[in-house]
Structures are given as structure tokens and as C-alpha cells.
Chain A
Amino acid sequence: MTGLDPRGFAVSARLAGVKNIIAVTGWKGGIGKSSVSCALALALADTGYKTGLLDADFTGASCNIILGAGKAFPEEIEGLEPPLVSGIKFMSASFFAGENAVALRGADISNALLELLCVTQWRELDCLIIDLPPGIGDTSLELLRLVPQSKLLVVKTPSVLSEETVRRSLELFRSMEIPVAGVVENMVRSGKAHKGEKLLGAIPFDAGYEEAIGFPEKIRKTALFKAASAVARKLFATV
């Protein structure tokens, strides 16, 4: 026997205390997956749930910016203990990349995800939100392989393009027997969400949200956060 990678053998132990894992996905970039992930995590933490957030978008990490994580850094205790950011246990490659851009190919992305899943000590959580990059690529496929108990939350926008890709992705998830917790429509301008399969709610386009980025206390006052809180309640009832 040669060359056995041991890291995968620890993933289930690291997540043993996590009751629910919600992976936030969507087939298009710029549709607000990270904002929805952060708002959901804040809403769940505010409700009293022990909540974690893993930013798994290695090449486009932004949850640290949205939450204003600043100089937060994991502590070394039997691995890496995620720092508490606005009541959320938060882990991101941005802690290590700092202000630098990250360019990674498929195998490196898989390795980075496996490393973080192996060394991060989430301990007891009611819910772990995982923010995924757009589409079903290396990160998403690797996550679903390593953490098959993940349930997907699909973000879409009121656009024919988004609608069509979500319809196709839901078919794909069904064919792969991947559980979908629900769909959220983001950036809704009409005040009325389109109807759709597994729709948990609509999040209005919020012109004031940009100003709130980096300040969780301001995010909590946005229409986005209020709508995300309602989605979080439905989501928890679903899972």
C-alpha cells in the first residue's frame, strides 16, 4: 500500500456534530449566492441557532467582505477553530490568501476543500451554510462526494436565463438523487416572485444593500435580510 491520502477519513468526524448542512448554489455568477448565504447565516445565528458558514468559493471568496470579518483568524485547537464573526463560526480561504487574488485549477480546488474539511473543527452546530461558487463544477462535485448529507439551496433571479438554468439544474439534482432543500428567488424588483418548483421565498432587490456590505448590523436592517430571515425559518422547517 502506498500513497494513501488520510484527510478524507476525518471529514465525517469533523462534521459529526453538525445537524444540518445547507450548500447554497446557483448556475450563474452575480446572482447573490454569497449575500444570501451570509444573510441566512446571520438570521439563523440571531434566532439562536448555532451556525457555521464555510465560504467554499476559493477563487472568488467574498463572505469575509460581506461580514466585515476584518482581521479574524482561526485559532489552532486540535485543528483550526473557526473564529466567531457576528455570532457565526466562519471559515474561508480568505484568512490565508489575505488581500491577494487566488487562481486555482480543479485538482487544487478539490485539495483545498478537502484540507479545510479535514482540519476545521466545527464542533456542535445546528446548521452549517456552505457558500458554493457558480455552477456544478469542481467544488460542488467534491463537496457532494465528501459531504453527501448536504442539502442544496438554489438561488435564482427573475430572469429567463436563470429560470432555464435552474430548471435544468433541478432535473440534474433529481437524476443524481441530490436533496434540494429549496429555491430562493433573489433580486426581485416587481415585489412578486415568479412561481416555481420548491420556491421558499423571494428576496427583493435592495438598492441600500451595497452600503451595508461589511457591516452586519447594517445588513440586519436591509430588506434582503428580512426576506432571508423568512426563508431561513421556512428552510429550517423543511430540513
Chain B
Amino acid sequence: MHEWALVDSIASAAQEEAARNGLKKVSSVVIVLGELQNIDAKASVEIFRDIRLLKKESLHGAKLVVKTEKAAFRCRACGKDFTMRTGRKMNHEQSEAVHFLPEMAHVFLQCPKCASRDFEITKGRGVYIGELRGNK
């Protein structure tokens, strides 16, 4: 599934970051999943369990801990702050497109005040690593 590629990138980033920080064993990789992209948290944890074994040994015992973040937007035209609940709603097909490529939000969402599609995704876009825990 699509999540595989993103989880693989998380594992690669974690092993490189661990090496950079001198971590011999990574106990957990805390990731933050943005509401906009709507990545499947449960599937990500399962994929990580398999992928970690393909990476360096420092990652073999690591757990993937998932946190979520609500999406937030700021209109560049009028300055209005809005969210997935206060902005225009997307249908299933549009949500799928944004799931694969979050920048498609600019195609399917609009500022609820001035209808502009020129807005900044200030929070909750996609996936990032929030924290890496382990032993030196």
C-alpha cells in the first residue's frame, strides 16, 4: 500500500539520525501524522515492524509510536485561519487525491471567508518524525 513508501522513508531517516546522534539502539520512533494526508496509523505500525528488520541493527527493536496533528490553514489572501471542519468539505475521491499528494488540498479546499485557494498549510500536512528515543 501507499503507506509503505512513507514508513520506509521514516525507517531510513531514523537509522541515519540515530547514527548521527550516536544511538546504538533505537527504542522508539515517534512520528506525527497530519490530519490532511490521513495516513493509516495502524497500517503504518504494522509496516514498520517488517521494515525495521531490513534496516541497520540499531533499529531492529524499535517501536513506532504514532501521534496525530489536526490540520490548520491560513489564507494568504485575507489572513483567515481555518481547519478541516471550518473549511469546505472534500468528498471521498478528493480526500483520496489529497492522501496521495497533500498539495492537492489547493485544488479541493478554499478559504471559507474569501474563497481563495492560496493558503498556507500551517499544521497537520503529512508525516514527520517528532522524536527518536534510544540508548547511546
Contact = CB atoms under 8 A, between A and B. Distances in A.
Contacts of A1: 17, 21, 129, 131-132
Contacts of A120: 5
Given A6-B10, A93-B101, A102 B107 contact: yes
Interface in B10-56: 10, 12-14, 16-17, 21
Interface string A104-136: 110011011001101111000000000000000
A5 B128 contact: yes
B87 interface: no
A76 interface: yes
A10 B6 CA distance: 8
Nearest to B99: A96
A105 B118 contact: yes
A79 B2 contact: yes
Interface string B97-136: 1101111101110000000011001000111111110000
A96 B105 CA distance: 10
A14 B126 CA distance: 19
B129 A97 contact: no
A9 B117 CA distance: 30
A118 B6 contact: yes
A177 interface: no
Given A1-B21, A4-B129, A105-B118, A118 B9 contact: yes
B9 A6 contact: yes
A79 B51 CA distance: 13
Contact of A4 (B8, B13, B101, B107): B13
A111 B127 CA distance: 12
A4 B17 contact: yes
Contacts of A102: 104, 106-107
A71 to B, nearest CB: 13
Interface residues on A, range: 35 or more
Nearest to B1: A76
Nearest to A59: B106
B108 to A, nearest CB: 8
A96 B100 contact: yes
Contact of B5 (A58, A95, A109, A121): A121
B104 A79 contact: no
Contact of A80 (B98, B100, B108): B100
A63 to B, nearest CB: 16
B13 A100 contact: no
A103 B108 CA distance: 11
B128 A6 contact: yes
B104 A119 contact: no
A2 interface: yes
Interface of B: 1-2, 4-6, 8-10, 12-14, 16-17, 21, 76, 97-98, 100-104, 106-108, 117-118, 121, 125-132
Given A6-B14, A108-B106, 19 more contacts: A3-B128, A4-B13, A5-B13, A6-B9, A6-B12, A10-B8, A10-B12, A78-B8, A80-B100, A93-B104, A95-B100, A96-B98, A96-B100, A96-B107, A102-B104, A102-B106, A103-B118, A105-B118, A118-B9
10 contacts: A1-B131, A5-B128, A6-B127, A10-B9, A79-B2, A96-B98, A104-B106, A119-B5, A120-B5, A121-B5
